[in-house]
Structure 1
């Protein structure tokens, strides 16, 4: 907003303090989480197309019911991620059309969020999910649309920054453990332009994105 050019300010290092947003530190009675990096993530949109019909007049063995396909896929997602330590999978949205109590839906849409600290393992999880969707749709007589709408790479924080957090916790007598961030943070973006580290502290009940979220000194 004037003739003076904007100046860049070199960043020597960036540290971020944040609640864990999960239950691990509290469950282990640990004061400090030394964050070594962040998980990679995929966001996937899945739409299943079947045949809408009347709920009372269509026998079960004649149906092409996408909600039944979705329920099998969601259960299968749980089985896929449980095979990989550290993996998580979440269905955050599920919508049926026409969303009528006495109608078999003709279409089901749902989202899947998958995360893991290792990019290769994460990619294989999503491949397993896609294969599962295709297999179940074939068995249930459904069509599907499978679209990855967003992906985030795994992040490894600067080794010296991580070590400084660990050493500081040790010298001050705080219990601590290494931990990978399951959520995205400013630090994940800052790590691309400056040496970066993070410090986690426990939160009550491991709750986050909820009105009951709280932490105390």
Structure 2
């Protein structure tokens, strides 16, 4: 690998991602769950890269790793760049890790060019975003943002180990979790570079794009109840077929979502009872997931969906019950950070395509602390959380160039941002 000193090198980022991917519990895909020996080995490798890039490295009490590259004004608030180092089971090489390694890359370029910005730059690898082991997401970023709940420390994994015990095994002090929280006036902003995990950039033929917001999610469980009967003896016009009613409801959901794009709605799970080939379905239970960055529009569409479902069930002599099981607010990216990313994309000869993230990211938790922005990098066929997850070296390099240009812009144009933070 030939690396030109002082320049962004996509091949170096890619090679480091490959090295990190080798540290896995499984051979099929990447499995590196938080607070495991594999996670610690990966963190040790990241620590070395941070140190080699001129950063001072520390680990907080929630096991986040933070590399700090001092600015010419060390007391100025730090611009934070980051993502997560944990994976799902049999996941890919890029989800989360790309953002951390790209952050290290831009600091390394500054270091090799003997360049210091006015503001310190901090690259952070969050300890748990996916929530696979303890079934609670954004543990690391919530700790940094100051929104971590102490009750979370008592959560257990499948073997009965508590989160607190797992952290103590690493020599950390979990009940001192508040020490991980950062005062808002210590942070200028947070930027996360991430693979898109969707197909839009590939469709547009672009290596990267600017994220305008992360969709809030409403999740429901629903039940359609009819009456089970003999499949051969009950005429169609006398049936109370719960599955036929559910099918009509699903088509109504799809229609309303398409009419209100870019909102997305998904019926991801259905259970049919009694579930026999010769019995008319008497009951169907399912889930509905609705996501949008516009909370008002999402609320209106939910009302329209529920109205349509009740109308369909009344017409078919069925009953419909629904229960909300989860609600998360949308996260809007900061306008000035969006503008800086757009400017960086344009200066690198591309169109600036605005994107909405339907997936959750650490930026959602960090938004409780500071202003946030995100850059998406094209990934093949939009595949993620899968061993087939892939981003091309040239796209990775372009994303890192946009990230570096954005960081430079924000540290130059910081005075207005700081005034707004005070106001």
**TM-score between the two structures when normalised by the length of structure 2:** 0.48
1:129 to 2:290 alignment: no
Match of 2:200 in 1: 24
Q: 1:6 aligns to what?
A: 179
SS at match of 1:73: helix
CA distance in 1, matches of 2:346, 2:284: 51
Aligned-pair distance for 1:80? 0.8
Q: Distance in 1 between matches of 2:304 and 2:384?
A: 29
Within the alignment, does 1:158 sit opposite 2:334 as a pair?
yes
The equivalent of 1:198 in structure 2 is 374
CA distance in 1, matches of 2:259, 2:189: 37
Q: Following TM superposition, by how much is the alpha carbon of 1:179 offset from its aligned partner in structure 2, in angstroms? A: 1.6
Question: How far did residue 92 of structure 1 move?
Answer: 0.5
The RMSD of aligned alpha carbons is: 2.2
Residue 69 to residue 95, structure 1, CA distance change in 2 (3 Å): same
Q: Report the structure number with the largest CA radius of gyration.
A: 2
Pair 1:65 & 2:241 matched: yes
1:40 to partner: Cα distance: 2.3
With over 3 angstroms needed to count, the CA separation of the structure-2 counterparts of 1:68 and 1:7, relative to structure 1, is closer
Provide closer, same or farther for how the CA distance between residues 61 and 166 of structure 1 changes in structure 2, counting only shifts above 3 A. Answer: same
Mapped pair 1:144 → 2:328: no
User: Match of 2:146?
Assistant: none
Inter-partner Cα distance in structure 2 for 1:7 and 1:40: 26
Q: Report runs of 4+ in structure 1 exceeding 6 Å deviation.
A: none
The answer for the alignment partner of 2:273 in structure 1 is 97
> Is the Cα contact below 8 Å between 2:274 and 2:282 reproduced in 1?
yes
The answer on whether the counterparts of 2:293 and 2:332 sit within 8 Å (CA) in structure 1 is: no
Distance 1:105 1:167, change over 3 A: same
Answer 1 or 2: which has greater helix percent.
2
Q: Deviations over 1:3-36 (max 9, x none)?
A: x993644433222111111111111111221112
Residue 174 of structure 1 deviates from its aligned partner by: 4.6
Where does residue 213 of structure 2 map in the other structure? 37
Q: How far did residue 191 of structure 1 move?
A: 0.9
1:162-173 matches, cutoff 5 A? 162-173=338-349
Cα distance in structure 2, aligned partners of 1:29 and 1:138:
47
Q: CA separation in 2, counterparts of 1:215 and 1:91? A: 29
Distance 1:210 1:67, change over 3 A: farther
Helix, strand or coil at the partner of 1:64: coil
TM-score by length of 1: 0.91
Contact 1:31 1:176 (C-alpha < 8 Å) held by counterparts: no
1:109-158 deviation line (CA, Å, top 9, x unaligned): 11111122211111111001110111011011111211121122221112
Tell whether the 8 Å contact from 1:36 to 1:157 is kept in structure 2 after alignment. Answer: yes
CA distance in 1, matches of 2:225, 2:264: 26
Higher relative contact order (Cα pairs below 8 Å, separated by 6+ residues): 1
Q: Classify the secondary structure of the residue corresponding to 1:12.
A: strand
Which of 77-86 and 169-178 deviates more?
Answer: 169-178
Question: After superposition, where does 1:102-121 map in structure 2 within 5 Å?
Answer: 102-121=278-297
Higher strand proportion: 1
Contact in 2 for aligned 1:32/1:175 (Cα 8 Å): no
Contiguous gaps of at least 5 residues in structure 2: 1-172, 394-423
Tell me which moved more, 182-191 or 6-15: 6-15
User: What is the aligned length?
Assistant: 217
SS at match of 1:137: helix
